[in-house]
Structure 1
């Protein structure tokens, strides 16, 4: 009981995920986890047990999300109560239809950079690890959409911001698994704590520089009283503009620290989760050539007479969307989220006392055999309108659910559609037949080895 279930969680990434799946076969709705002698939590992995928590505004669990706070502060992901409500209201305009529509050209530009890079892999025919390139592409998108920051990050082989985020993602999960490190005092005296601080400083320095630049540009454009005086590529207010201009009912805006927290949260979550969604979608399509072929044919119908996917074309990517959604079911970018219980609660007949925490385990629920037929199989047709019409609204939640669902889910899904459609239109994707992706259960799920992928130029492959 000293370590509880930690010895199971220490076994390794894929083995830990499989252990959780084996528990669901015995306890398909709810089970208890001990993380050390005193830290107990409850895993929820069935729509009926998840529903009361997802519908509530119970606060995000301090213990789990507290480990991310040094990195992303008290942004929308972590904040609770009135602060969360106010921020959510202020940020909602950033995801309005008209704003999202203007980002399609940015998705296109960033994806084209990736396609050019991958031509080298297609030419040499060698397998390569695709995740880093995808992460750089989604970071490029986020910096452009969030801050109008045009960098050359996709052409950098070792981007410090990407490295820092990758390390912080892993460090926060490893800290959760080591009870003595739950104490800030002990943790920051350790090598792991010092490394965490070093990476946090790097990320904050990067975001503060971007904010200063955007703030100066916005001030200049306001002085001219004409946002159209910006370069042609700036067609609308971006996320940071909206943060800088936002005012609540009292006329108060966000403080500089609040703006930094939201930028850190948006760039971190927005690029890393989207990269996860894209990389697992590519893995599934590389593994199942028949589904890849259907996505290719769909992309061809759109791109046969033009080079770009436009806003109106997204609705025509119906099969590609189903494949992406099925990949998100099998490999949800955020495998779990956690809530603190602020008053005695009964779920599924079990009394959960005030002060406990619960984990809404999206990964386990998406593979729960009492919820999904053939849960481990890749079957995009699940998402045909007739097949999903009677689903429980809480059985498929890759972007969470309820009032605290992901505010940027449409942004992310649109980016995934554009990227995946262009990639399969340009390249034939494949993986070694013996290759099985290994998952990591850290805050944002990714292939442990970065996903070993082959790409071949379609024009060469088809002889056209």
Structure 2
């Protein structure tokens, strides 16, 4: 079956460079293959593109008009935008079902029929088309790759940036500013680097060592929650509890605020985060929803109110902290203080809206991703008593009966670190990363033009049998030092890669380790026998239906 692209361009032949092979560099000239012969042989997407010797970039490519019975008549310089639109001429990929929507109909159909989310689509297409292929979202081609050198080029080299339109998608929700141009959504690398420098001290070892008591205090509140659930023979959703605990952690350590996640059943901030994340997820799954003003108006209003509530709270916190500092009160050196100090030194560094962008980013990202990660840890522990036994042996040996976890204890939790890494390999909260080429680049041997968007996925990489032996098995030992097939940095990157890697990764791992140590010291968990495990992606990856568990005291 011909793709819309084939039907549109059956009278054209594009001598695009398919592979920058060594043989080509040595002077091999590629021949011209007749259009009818290729179609008769079942070639789709014009994948047998003519290899053009000495082509240095896509700007050098030429289009050749071909009749169905004759060979080349004429060549003229190709239009770069059209070449991007016809990337599936060069690179294998899913046949485009709709000229304007691209592969979105497939994505929607698979979500309905198979329960697939985007990362599962990418995993399926990787099985079909290999490590590198093209898909279309609306009129935009996206090059997906698992090739290690290409991942290095895209994410580590610093040569390519974030797509502006993707950043704008996260910036506001249905007309209300959400995370705006925060650290996650700022496309300008120079602006991002300046702001990252401002916040780095709040996530360094020195500060995290200083606030270790706060991690422990909220861990102790979590223990009280588990104590109420223990031995009542009822299933409790641990995911909900971890979302509440991580909210309290980011509120206390980042802003010296009690957000009442563990103490109030209807925490306003927890509701606001969940509502805004749901709104973002719907916007991502249906890019046109924002423009359909007549659809889901009540839901959109709730999302706007949630975003406004978080930003308005941040504004009040800033005013309160500044007043406290002017009075000479003793205030913590947290994110709020860093922002105010920076403004005092250089008032033009950040606007109020930009400050609120980063505050909302820290709250939402710091709570949502860590909560999902630790939920997956306990999901695996609830069905793996052998892993729990090894963890408890390590926890008992390191803590020696203490319930307070010191900063120096964290590095001694070696097996626990492997368990966390293995969990993140299988269940990374953020499943893929977008990049946009700032210049022509070689992606897995293909020359791809400037401006093209690219995708890489730690979810797909983490489950790929070519990168991990027995990829669907939970094997913490694969991260053990000296393990022969230990995952490389390009096969495992749950916190992203390069300069744009997650600023809060050390923060999150400290939080998870303290919660795991405290809970396993006292309690055991077992999955509800009626629970059916499924993955779902609502902006971030999470277990569908939470993690319902029976909690009991440790024997």
2-side partners of 1:253 and 1:29: how far apart? Answer: 42
Aligned 1:366-385 pairs, distance under 5 A: 366-385=462-481
Kindly indicate whether residue 335 of structure 2 is the aligned counterpart of residue 208 of structure 1.
no
Kindly indicate whether residue 128 of structure 2 is the aligned counterpart of residue 26 of structure 1.
yes
1:54 to 152, 155, 158: 155
What is the Cα deviation at residue 187 of structure 1?
5.4
Alpha carbons of structure 1 residues 327 and 425: separation in structure 2 relative to 1, 3 Å: same
What is the Cα deviation at residue 434 of structure 1?
6.4
1-side partners of 2:547 and 2:107: how far apart? Answer: 23
Kindly indicate whether residue 325 of structure 2 is the aligned counterpart of residue 218 of structure 1.
yes
What is the Cα deviation at residue 380 of structure 1?
0.2
Cα RMSD for the two superposed structures: 2.4
> In structure 2, what is the equivalent of residue 362 of structure 1?
458
2-side partners of 1:5 and 1:127: how far apart? Answer: 40
What is the Cα deviation at residue 128 of structure 1?
1.5
Q: What per-residue deviation string (whole Å, max 9, x for no partner) do you get for residues 401-446 of structure 1? A: 1111111111111111111111122211111456443222333211
Which deviates more, 204-213 or 13-22? Answer: 13-22
What is the count of residue pairs matched by the alignment?
445
> In structure 2, what is the equivalent of residue 41 of structure 1?
142
Q: What SS class does the counterpart of residue 155 from structure 1 fall into?
A: coil
Kindly indicate whether residue 104 of structure 2 is the aligned counterpart of residue 6 of structure 1.
yes
Kindly indicate whether residue 428 of structure 2 is the aligned counterpart of residue 332 of structure 1.
yes
> In structure 2, what is the equivalent of residue 263 of structure 1?
359
What is the Cα deviation at residue 54 of structure 1?
0.7
Contact preservation (8 Å) 1:335, 1:443: no
Contact preservation (8 Å) 2:179, 2:357: yes
Contact preservation (8 Å) 2:440, 2:449: yes
Q: What per-residue deviation string (whole Å, max 9, x for no partner) do you get for residues 137-190 of structure 1? A: 001000111111134331111222222222222222222232423xx5545985
1-side partners of 2:519 and 2:307: how far apart? Answer: 33
Q: What SS class does the counterpart of residue 31 from structure 1 fall into?
A: strand
Alpha carbons of structure 1 residues 6 and 253: separation in structure 2 relative to 1, 3 Å: closer
1-side partners of 2:326 and 2:393: how far apart? Answer: 47
**Which consecutive unaligned segments of at least 5 residues does structure 1 have?**
231-235
Alpha carbons of structure 1 residues 390 and 289: separation in structure 2 relative to 1, 3 Å: closer
Aligned 1:32-181 pairs, distance under 5 A: 32-36=134-138, 38-55=139-156, 56-70=158-172, 71-79=178-186, 80-181=188-289
What is the Cα deviation at residue 312 of structure 1?
0.9
2-side partners of 1:69 and 1:19: how far apart? Answer: 25
Higher relative contact order (CA 8 A, sep 6+): 1
Q: What per-residue deviation string (whole Å, max 9, x for no partner) do you get for residues 71-91 of structure 1? A: 111111111222111111222
2-side partners of 1:86 and 1:43: how far apart? Answer: 30
What is the Cα deviation at residue 241 of structure 1?
0.9
User: Larger C-alpha radius of gyration, 1 or 2?
Assistant: 2
Q: What SS class does the counterpart of residue 422 from structure 2 fall into?
A: helix
2-side partners of 1:388 and 1:276: how far apart? Answer: 30
Q: What per-residue deviation string (whole Å, max 9, x for no partner) do you get for residues 221-270 of structure 1? A: 3xx6xx4xx5xxxxx51121112112699685433222211111111111
Contact preservation (8 Å) 1:148, 1:214: no
1-side partners of 2:122 and 2:529: how far apart? Answer: 26
2:386 to 246, 271, 290: 290
Q: What per-residue deviation string (whole Å, max 9, x for no partner) do you get for residues 365-389 of structure 1? A: 1111111111111000011111279
1-side partners of 2:279 and 2:351: how far apart? Answer: 28
1-side partners of 2:294 and 2:248: how far apart? Answer: 32
Alpha carbons of structure 1 residues 292 and 310: separation in structure 2 relative to 1, 3 Å: same
Kindly indicate whether residue 430 of structure 2 is the aligned counterpart of residue 430 of structure 1.
no
2-side partners of 1:160 and 1:28: how far apart? Answer: 46
Kindly indicate whether residue 540 of structure 2 is the aligned counterpart of residue 444 of structure 1.
yes
Q: What per-residue deviation string (whole Å, max 9, x for no partner) do you get for residues 94-123 of structure 1? A: 222210112221111111111211222213
